[in-house]
Structure 1
Amino acid sequence: MQKWLKKWVVTGLLFGLGMSASLPVKAAKSSQTTQSNVGFSVAAKIPKNQINKKNSFFDLKMKKGQTETLQTVIYNSSNKDIKVQTRINTAYTNTNGTIEYVSPTTNYDPSLKYKISDITKLTGAKTVTVPANGSKTISAKISMPSEQVNGVILGGWYFKRVDDKVTGSVKGAMNMKSQYSYVIGLKYTSGKIPQPNMKLGSVKAGMSNYHRGIIAELRNPTAVMIPNLTTKSTITSKDSDKVVKKATRKGIQMAPNTSYNYPMLLGDTKLQAGKYHLHMVVKNTEHQWTFDKDFTITATSAQKYNKESVDNNGISIWWLIGLGALGMLVIVLLILWLIFFIKKRRQRKD
């Protein structure tokens, strides 16, 4: 009996070697096995106003009020028609400190005046059918603002195969339902490029993936990417001058006009109500910013996050997984023993 057990989503993301930061592009070449599994690929039709002709993503020089039609070709390498869903996403920095082109968000930095998803619109259907062993060209229209934009507007053109696909069929085995996706970077450069700048927003107690900690909001209010940042942070109690937390994070990529909620997790240490001070240095090879900020953890928020945190379990998630696996093994052994017992009993009766 065939069962759908799991949905795999494989995102085809490669990164361009730009001076500013990495942008996603299509897979230029795939192995025969990969092409067979994925079943489709995408390629941007590079226009004349491409800044760097070597880039496979859209790296465009734009002017105020300019309109332009972009085209991407979807190739179907399978022996049947496929459906591909597409959309335009505005880039932002996610909680991992990387630039996100795939998953859209609703929380944008207030400095972001023009979203790429607002000025770039698909001209056809959002879901298209690509014929077997054929191709389909789809279009999107850019409408730049009438006023001068100085800097970079960043995003991605996302493609996801949405028709059902089974990787194989084996009697008695479980089949996997697979979906595959690509994203092509969209980078519009206009006017004068501003100097990078970083700001520190709110600092407060909070949660990240159900782990308690101190969340510092790092902001890039400028229309330029700021790559390869390292943060070094020290949190001290204002009452005792005791160091509560030291944290270092490397490889942070800030999208233009974005906010990054940087989690400094406390692990087994519980949040304590009180007044604190954050000292943070943010830098890369070209720039450095130093921030100092006082903040308060209320008794209410400390109690709330301490109670909700998975850090309270006193046991590692891997221990839980191990115990679960052990429990499954015991159940399987009991079933096998029961089958063996029933079989032996029937043999005796015969």
Structure 2
Amino acid sequence: MKKKIVNSILSLFFIAFIIWQSPNVAYATDTGMAYTYRIEKPDNQLDAEIGYFDLMMTPKQEQKLKINITSLSDKEQTIETTLDSAKTNSNGVIEYNQKNIDKDESMTIDFNNIVTTEKEIVLKPKETKTLEVSIKMPEIAYDGVIAGGLTLKAKDDDTTEKQANGSRVKNEYAYVIAILLRENKNEVKPDLAYRKTYAADRNYNNTIFTRIANSVPTYEANMTLEAQISKSGSKEILYEARQTGIEMAPNSYFDFPISMNNEDMVPGKYVARVNALIGSQSWNWEEEFEITKKDADKYNEKNSALTQETVDWKLILAIVTGFIVIVGIVTAIYYFFVKKKKRANKAQKKKKVNNVQKKKRKSKSDV
């Protein structure tokens, strides 16, 4: 009986573990790329060991870069190309293919204005073609770096997987090749600027964003940002955030997210106190901003609707299963000890009866 109880408990734990460990997100299957590329590094490449272009240029210089693209497919395919300047995303990471992020006002030389290429290239099965990228440098000399990237993506090369819950996961595959253009190696000192603070949402959570710009044409790394939000006229901290290891692209901005901890937005005037640190250099800002009633209503309604519609059935199932496991364990322990006690009482009672019978037999023999 004891062995059966132990086996039952282990079975309940095993079932709970399997249910809890089952993933509630869909993972894309890596189908691989149907083409590959190789860049031809020109003589003005600064580092021959890296896998992207880092070029030393001169004012008004014109140059063509060459990228050999090879099809690995038995079918004809079209490779689409896009060019974009380097930007900083809301995670504090540099990207080279984010057209949905606006350019910062400090950018005086736009990568897209001096670098051009074909919009697409058609490859026959197993064919290799050379894609040319044209550069035309501005007339005025400058310090720092003009940074951007070339994205290669097979046309319609994405997969859409339908999940059991009705959601869809779209996976896209692309190569991104950075292109960095310099005219000298002069040091450019960091210079950060405050742009604005505003309320919005991030992944359907009410969030305050503080926009900080890297206003010079150089990369910044290992930056630390801290921000505190208070009501205007008050020192009480309502929300705060800190992030380290931030990277910033040249002449780009970073929208630093400050979570509102799942609270509703309240219209009114607020103050953002922001501190930025790069090495031994620091910047501090204290700026007022406003959350309008229109914005508060919009984001509160949006987030409330999502909360009502989103039910994590896997979590509910795990909680119910955990409850059943606990009840099962308690019941099994109770059953085990009650049975044990009953057996002990029965044995003790039997022992007493045997003792009484022995005494009676002894009394008779004495007579």
Q: Is 1:198 the equivalent of 2:192? A: yes
Q: Match of 1:275?
A: 269
Deviation at 1:161, TM superposition (A): 0.9
Distance in 2 between residues matched to 1:69 and 1:182, nearest whole Å: 20
Distance in 2 between residues matched to 1:319 and 1:179, nearest whole Å: 27
Determine helix, strand or coil for the equivalent of 1:51. Answer: coil
CA contact (8 A) 1:162 1:179 kept: no
Match of 1:289 among 277, 283, 304: 283
Aligned length: 282
Q: Match of 1:76?
A: 71
CA contact (8 A) 1:94 1:100 kept: yes
Q: Is 1:140 the equivalent of 2:111? A: no
CA contact (8 A) 1:50 1:58 kept: yes
User: Tell me, which stretches of 5 or more residues in structure 1 are unaligned?
Assistant: 1-7, 11-33, 168-175, 325-350
Deviation at 1:83, TM superposition (A): 1.7
Distance 1:46-1:118 versus aligned 2 partners, 3 A rule: same
1:108-165 per-position Cα deviation (integer Å, ceiling 9, x unaligned): 111111121210111xx42212232231111011000011122111111110011568
For the pair shown, which has the larger CA radius of gyration, 1 or 2? 2
Distance in 2 between residues matched to 1:259 and 1:43, nearest whole Å: 32
Determine helix, strand or coil for the equivalent of 1:259. Answer: strand
Partner letter of residue 82 of structure 1?
A: Q
Determine helix, strand or coil for the equivalent of 1:37. Answer: coil
Q: Match of 2:349?
A: none
Determine helix, strand or coil for the equivalent of 1:38. Answer: coil
Distance in 1 between residues matched to 2:154 and 2:53, nearest whole Å: 21
Deviation at 1:255, TM superposition (A): 0.9
Structure whose residues are more often strand by fraction: 1
Partner letter of residue 53 of structure 1?
A: A
1:203-232 per-position Cα deviation (integer Å, ceiling 9, x unaligned): 122223332221111111101111232212
CA contact (8 A) 1:161 1:179 kept: no
CA contact (8 A) 2:266 2:291 kept: yes
Distance in 2 between residues matched to 1:166 and 1:293, nearest whole Å: 45
Q: Superposition pairs for residues 160-239 of structure 1, below 5 Å?
A: 160-162=153-155, 180-191=173-184, 192-239=186-233
Deviation at 1:311, TM superposition (A): 5.2
Distance in 1 between residues matched to 2:307 and 2:74, nearest whole Å: 53
Determine helix, strand or coil for the equivalent of 1:154. Answer: strand
Q: Superposition pairs for residues 102-181 of structure 1, below 5 Å?
A: 102-105=97-100, 107-122=102-117, 125-162=118-155, 180-181=173-174
Determine helix, strand or coil for the equivalent of 1:97. Answer: coil
Between the aligned residues of both structures, percent identity stands at: 26
Distance in 1 between residues matched to 2:159 and 2:204, nearest whole Å: 34
Determine helix, strand or coil for the equivalent of 1:117. Answer: helix
CA contact (8 A) 1:42 1:74 kept: yes
Partner letter of residue 229 of structure 2?
A: I
Deviates more, 1:140-149 or 1:282-291: 282-291
Distance 1:79-1:287 versus aligned 2 partners, 3 A rule: farther
Partner letter of residue 89 of structure 2?
A: N
CA contact (8 A) 1:84 1:163 kept: no
Deviates more, 1:96-105 or 1:291-300: 291-300
Q: Superposition pairs for residues 259-274 of structure 1, below 5 Å?
A: 259-274=253-268
Partner letter of residue 147 of structure 1?
A: I
Q: Match of 1:101?
A: 96
CA contact (8 A) 1:204 1:295 kept: yes
Distance 1:246-1:163 versus aligned 2 partners, 3 A rule: closer
CA contact (8 A) 1:212 1:311 kept: no
Partner letter of residue 217 of structure 2?
A: A
Match of 1:40 among 32, 35, 41: 35
Distance in 2 between residues matched to 1:139 and 1:102, nearest whole Å: 19
Determine helix, strand or coil for the equivalent of 2:99. Answer: coil
Q: Match of 1:304?
A: 298
CA contact (8 A) 2:107 2:215 kept: yes
Deviation at 1:194, TM superposition (A): 2.0
Partner letter of residue 210 of structure 2?
A: A
Calculate the TM-score normalised by the size of structure 1.
0.72
Distance in 2 between residues matched to 1:80 and 1:302, nearest whole Å: 52
1:179-220 per-position Cα deviation (integer Å, ceiling 9, x unaligned): 531011011112444211111111122223332221111111
Deviation at 1:263, TM superposition (A): 2.0
Distance 1:320-1:227 versus aligned 2 partners, 3 A rule: farther
Deviates more, 1:314-323 or 1:261-270: 314-323
Distance in 1 between residues matched to 2:115 and 2:28, nearest whole Å: 26
Q: Match of 2:81?
A: 86
Deviation at 1:74, TM superposition (A): 0.6
CA contact (8 A) 2:64 2:134 kept: yes
Alignment root-mean-square deviation, CA:
3.0
Q: Match of 1:348?
A: none
